[in-house]
Amino acid sequence: MVYRYFLKELIPQVFITTCVVASIIIVTQFFRISRVVSEFGFTLENILLPFLFNLLPLLATIIPIAFLFAVVITFGRLNSDGELTVFFANGMSLKQMARPVVGLSIVLYFICVFLGLYVEPWAGKEFSTFYKVNAHTQLENILKTQLQPNIFVDNFLDYKFYAQHISKDRTSMQNIILSSSKSSHGESPFVIIAPRATISGNVSTQDLGLSFDMGTIYFFSEFSYSDLQSFDPVSISKALEKNSTKIVHFKKLDLDLIKIFRDRILNQRSKFNADNLYPSELLHYINTEKPSPTETNQKVIKQYYYAKFLFHQRIALPFIIIIFGLISLVVSIQDTRKTRNTSYPAAIATLVLGYCILMSAKGLSVKGLIHPAIALWIPLCLLLMIAIFLLNYKNILPISCSMFSKEGINLLKERRRSRYKSGLRFLLKLASRSKSKSSSK
């Protein structure tokens, strides 16, 4: 019944704290979500789905942090209300109080492992699919509605586009300008001018193409876009020829708009992303894509070691929730007569320590200096030993005594002396028994 009471107090607090921590952390993803809204429009779907797909991968990190503060808040409140004093007076020890905390932390550990192994890659894949579908819809919308005669379009696949005449079926155009934009991906500025162009295929069949006839390409080291505010073929050609570093004439130029769309708009989401791989996919990649000893491409090497670290991280890192539970239980029980409460600073220090361990393990693993399992599990086991030591230490101290006070340290020394003496007595008894047996023989 006592354990049930502790869980009844702790579980709602874990839920509330998880919501609060999630609200704080999701603010860091606001820029990513606002970018989706700005690109695809302000709709309920474009707000809620990116919010969900960005929140789910973070839950495996949010829950241990929330559990740390939930234990501090719950047992700190029980301690300040005097309820823990009643339990201690009835013979209940701190170790017994730790049982429901450890039990709940083990359940949350498996939940976090599941979230990391399956929910995180699912959310990543779904967000990529969501972005791709909306981007395809946006491309189709540009072709059908935004391309208007005598109007410059600034966001045509990250290019500037102009057509003086567009047919009603939107498949043929006259007097076209296509130029690189200021945000082009490391490309040299260029301008394509052609008297005719045709659009073939469509987005749904993935064969959308743009063909220019009898045109010219002008390349520049620097280019001012103010020259392209109106279409005057003669004046623009003279200005381009005067400032260009290279001129190429062509009879026909075919552009694969779907390929350009994937390379320029979906560039970040089309690359290999280990975060979006399920456990079986990660293991397959780790077993089949190991870099050879002669591999010199550091990007490929880091990508492989990161995937290897990610697999072990999703299993090992949630284990820190058990450590957080024990340490937070210890630091939450303090003398209520003292005005200075060190529970929260101690909890924050524990959180920072866990983060530093994660970053150190990641840095060593991604560089290939140490195996990820060793880099993660050894520090976690050491932290668990420290947490158990602190629990045992706090268990022998009265509530009014701080662990790091002189009184607490003296009590610990006395406990060690008593254990040493009892162990010595036990050895002397064994020695006397062995002597008596040998003399009787």
Q: What is the pTM of this model?
A: 0.74
User: pLDDT at position 245, please?
Assistant: 66
158 neighbors 265 (Cβ within 8 angstroms)? yes
**pLDDT over 70, % of the chain:** 76
Please, where are the H alpha helices in 157-289? 233-243, 257-260, 267-270, 279-288
Tens-digit pLDDT profile for residues 182-232: 555 556 678 888 888 888 877 767 778 889 898 888 877 655 555 544 445
Query: What crossing angle do the helices spanning 59-80 and 343-366 adopt, rounded to 10°?
Result: 160
User: pLDDT at position 191, please?
Assistant: 83
pLDDT confidence of 322, banded at 50, 70, 90? very high
Distance CA 42, CA 34 (A): 9
Which residues are CB-neighbours of 45 under 8 A, at least 6 positions away? none
Q: CA-CA distances (angstroms) from residue 213 to 115, 169, 431? A: 54, 19, 105
User: pLDDT at position 16, please?
Assistant: 93
Max avg pLDDT among 100-114, 318-332, 388-402: 100-114
User: pLDDT at position 201, please?
Assistant: 78
Alpha carbons within 13 angstroms on the beta-carbon side of residue 77 total: 9
Which tokens go with 51? 């919010």
395 vs 242, more confident: 395
Which helix or strand (DSSP H or E) is residue 351 part of? Answer: helix 343-366
SS3 148: coil
**pLDDT over 90, % of the chain:** 16
Query: What crossing angle do the helices spanning 343-366 and 372-395 adopt, rounded to 10°?
Result: 160
List the chain domain ranges. 2-134+273-395, 149-267, 405-436
In this structure, is the dihedral angle defined by the CA atoms of residues 53, 57, 61 and 67, taken in order, positive or negative?
A: positive
pLDDT at 177 exceeding the cut of 90 = no
pLDDT at 115 exceeding the cut of 90 = yes
Lowest mean pLDDT among 77-86, 146-155, 297-306: 146-155
What is the average pLDDT score of the chain?
Answer: 79
Q: Any idea what the Cα angle at residue 439 is, between residues 437 and 441, rounded to 5°?
A: 70
Lowest mean pLDDT among 78-92, 226-240, 366-380: 226-240
Lowest mean pLDDT among 4-13, 14-23, 157-166, 277-286: 157-166
pLDDT confidence of 345, banded at 50, 70, 90? confident
Amino acid at 70: A
Distance CA 367, CA 230 (A): 54
Q: How many helices (H) and strands (E) does the chain have?
A: 16, 6
Rounded to an integer, the average pLDDT of 368-395 is 87
Distance CA 194, CA 177 (A): 7
